[in-house]
């Protein structure tokens, strides 16, 4: 298939590498003045991967879109709406869209597929690609399982058939709300895990995983999704990669925050946490972990006090 990847960050560049590896015709697009794009264009490398000459690298957005059957977007979640605005002037007829990104629009609380529908219209079939894994592991041949979900059953089947390999096994998603919210929310739990690491309280990650999953399951149910999705690959299944891995940006952000250090890379969980707090208020769901993480990030509560209140002081029934 002819596939264009819009975005050349850590995850986007891996997807381009992966889809080329399994035999697709891949174009990767990036902003011409972006350091990551410049590095890939000039050296055919980044700090993780080497890109074959078969991958076309361009900063011409119109050309990249026109050549594609499938358009995959992998950018910051908070930049999605404005970026989609640049696509409205291009020919998007007969294109299929895949979002390989995890987040919730903080200004509206919208899921990312909702942002697509509002911006580009309902006529463009859209799917999400979520689940665990890091490019550093995949590039070394370490396999994992992921999920593709969409309101369009034919699109799900097509993508899973075209994208599956020995490196990634895809499951068929059956709950778009749950998979989008669960995938985004795992980054908030990842920040909490990093805070525990930074305070030398890593032994409490078991409690965090148990309570965090239940908390997000309640929110998914209140929003009209299937609460079991929180226990699937989009959320609980992604905990190893997010709560424990040295490669997790969100875990590292939380660890460095409580140690008074600056984290300079993208941690999607920061804005996602704000959005989850708003969704909790809207749907009247108690989200103690999300609220605590949000307060610590905002500086209105110390991590030591907040995490102690969550896991060490209060007396309550487990279920």
Catalytic residues, by residue number, are 186
Give the 3-state secondary structure of residue 50: strand
What are the tokens at 64? 């990249």
Alpha helices in 108-152 (DSSP H): 112-120, 135-138
Report the side by side order of strands in the sheet with 25-29.
56-58, 25-29, 2-6, 70-73, 96-99, 126-130, 144-150, 168-172
The one-character DSSP state at 229 is G
Phi, psi (rounded to 5 degrees) for 246 = -65, -20
Contact 149, 128 (CB under 8 A): yes
Task: Provide the sign of the torsion angle of the four alpha carbons 289, 265, 61, 50, taken in this order.
Answer: negative
Alpha-carbon distance of 211 to 276, in angstroms, equals 16
Query: What separation in angstroms does the CA of 84 have from each of 9, 103, 157?
Result: 17, 15, 25
Estimate to the nearest angstrom the gap between the alpha carbon of 50 and the chain centroid.
23
Q: Which of 123, 229, 214, 215 is nearest to 177 (CA)?
A: 229
Alpha-carbon distance of 319 to 310, in angstroms, equals 15
Contact 230, 213 (CB under 8 A): yes
């Amino acid at each position: 298939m002819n596939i264009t990847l819009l975005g050349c960050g850590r995850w986007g560049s891996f997807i381009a590498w992966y889809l080329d590896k399994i035999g697709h015709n891949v174009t990767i697009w990036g902003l011409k003045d972006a350091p990551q794009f410049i590095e890939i264009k000039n050296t055919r490398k980044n700090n993780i991967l080497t890109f074959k000459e078969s991958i076309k690298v361009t900063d011409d957005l119109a050309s990249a879109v026109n050549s594609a059957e499938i358009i995959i977007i992998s950018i910051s979640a908070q930049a999605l709406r404005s970026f989609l605005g640049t696509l409205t002037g291009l020919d998007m007829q007969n294109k299929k869209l895949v979002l390989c990104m995890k987040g919730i629009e903080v200004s509206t609380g919208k899921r990312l597929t909702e942002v697509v529908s509002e911006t580009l219209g309902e006529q463009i079939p859209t799917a999400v690609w979520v689940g665990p894994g890091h490019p550093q592991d995949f590039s070394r041949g370490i396999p994992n399982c992921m999920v593709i979900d969409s309101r369009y059953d034919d699109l799900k089947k097509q993508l899973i058939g075209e994208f599956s390999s020995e490196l990634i096994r895809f499951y068929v998603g059956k709950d778009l709300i749950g998979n989008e919210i669960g995938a985004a929310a795992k980054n908030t739990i990842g920040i909490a895990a990093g805070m525990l690491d930074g305070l030398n309280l890593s032994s409490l990650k078991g409690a965090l995983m148990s309570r965090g999953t239940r908390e997000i399951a309640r929110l998914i149910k209140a929003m009209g999704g299937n609460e079991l999705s929180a226990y699937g690959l989009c959320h609980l299944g992604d905990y190893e990669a997010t709560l424990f891995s040295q490669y997790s940006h969100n875990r590292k952000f939380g660890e460095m925050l409580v140690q008074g250090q600056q984290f300079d890379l993208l941690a999607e969980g920061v804005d996602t946490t704000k959005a989850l707090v708003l969704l909790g208020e809207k749907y009247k769901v108690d989200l103690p972990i999300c609220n605590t993480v949000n307060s610590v990030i905002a500086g209105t509560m110390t991590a030591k006090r907040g995490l102690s209140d969550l896991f060490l002081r209060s007396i309550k029934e487990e279920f």
